[in-house]
């Protein structure tokens, strides 16, 4: 399946909010305000949000990205960090996540990061193969 990855735009706030609610249902009351603050440039993080579109131009996934300098073993090193990643259930295990993570790594490189990381089950996963 052909998937296109690009930055989110303000007209997509409602779909981003919907997907965010699926990923983080406990924070549903805050999502709309945080998204508005993101587009206004007043939210500390994420620094960037990438979305994945299917061939019909439906948004099927997103990744929220930030830059951290406080990761264990990398204090002071700029690291691109995946704060959140969500793919709709119907497209999991279809390669969408891989494409979204590759685009996220590319974003981190463009931000002059020396590493790329995320966490899973409270474990930091680092990639310093930049």
Q: What angle do CA 45, 83, 94 make, to 5 degrees?
A: 135
The pLDDT tens digits for 108-129 are: 999 999 989 887 655 566 666 6
10-28: average pLDDT: 97
Write down the pTM of the prediction: 0.91
Half-sphere exposure of 32 (CA within 13 A, CB side): 3
The pLDDT tens digits for 54-111 are: 999 999 999 999 999 988 888 888 999 999 999 999 999 999 999 999 999 999 999 9
Instruction: Give the pLDDT of residue 119.
Output: 78
Half-sphere exposure of 52 (CA within 13 A, CB side): 27
Least-confidence region, from 13-17, 39-43, 58-62, 73-77: 73-77
Instruction: Give the pLDDT of residue 46.
Output: 97
Q: What are the residue ranges spanned by the domains of the chain?
A: 4-127
Instruction: Give the pLDDT of residue 126.
Output: 60
Q: How far apart are CA 106 and CA 111, in angstroms?
A: 9
Question: What fold is seen in the domain 4-127?
Answer: Aminopeptidase (3.40.630)
């Amino acid at each position: 399946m052909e998937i296109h990855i690009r930055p989110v735009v303000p007209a997509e706030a409602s779909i981003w909010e919907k997907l965010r609610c699926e990923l983080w249902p406990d924070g549903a009351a805050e999502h709309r305000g945080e998204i508005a603050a993101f587009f206004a440039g007043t939210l500390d993080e994420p620094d960037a949000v990438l979305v994945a579109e299917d061939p019909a131009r439906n948004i099927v996934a997103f990744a929220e990205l930030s830059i951290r300098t406080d990761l264990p073993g990398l204090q002071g090193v700029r690291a691109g960090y995946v704060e959140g990643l969500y793919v709709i259930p119907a497209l999991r295990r279809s390669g969408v996540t891989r494409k979204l993570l590759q685009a996220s790594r590319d974003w981190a490189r463009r931000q002059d990061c020396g590493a790329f990381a995320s966490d899973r089950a409270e474990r930091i996963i680092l990639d310093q193969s930049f």
